[in-house]
Structure 1
Amino acid sequence: MQFQFDSLADFLAMSGHGPYVWGSYCVTLLVMAALAVVPLLRQRTLRQALGRQLRQEEARRRALTARQAHPQPEIAD
């Protein structure tokens, strides 16, 4: 079996086309990594926002319940 390139340097240079080939591989890997990571980050952000919203709604519900349980007396003029 005979290899296309004589050495590792020739393989990396690819007859002068190496920067384009390896650059395209790098760009492809970066895009694929972004396609995997961005949804995970977005999901984490949405979960945090949902948790914050649920805590606010629960605090409002408790405040309303407390106000209804202990009504303030009205002051007559």
Structure 2
Amino acid sequence: MNWPSASAFFDMGGYGLYVWGSYAVTALLMSAEPWLAARRQRLALEQAAGDAPDTEMQP
């Protein structure tokens, strides 16, 4: 497609909010996934080692 201006490109024929919103949500989720995966792995390793915060005995 050929857009006559940058504003026409970002408007996407009236569907710009849907298109760019979809890209934003996808980028957010894809950037959060590695952090969440590392957090889940760390918590699983702590539980396996018996060092989970919820299983420690408090003095």
TM-score, normalised with respect to structure 2: 0.63
Residue matched to 1:31: 29
Which runs of no fewer than 5 residues in structure 1 stay unpaired?
A: 57-77
| 1:13 CA drift (Å) | 0.8
TM-score, normalised with respect to structure 1: 0.52
Q: Percent identity?
A: 38
Count of aligned residue pairs for this structure pair:
52
Bigger RCO (CA 8 Å, 6+ sep): 2
Find runs of 4+ consecutive structure 1 residues off by over 4 angstroms.
none
| 1:51 CA drift (Å) | 6.0
Structure 1 or 2: larger helix share? 1
Which runs of no fewer than 5 residues in structure 2 stay unpaired?
A: none
CA RMSD of aligned residues (A): 2.4
Q: Which entry has the higher C-alpha Rg, 1 or 2?
A: 1
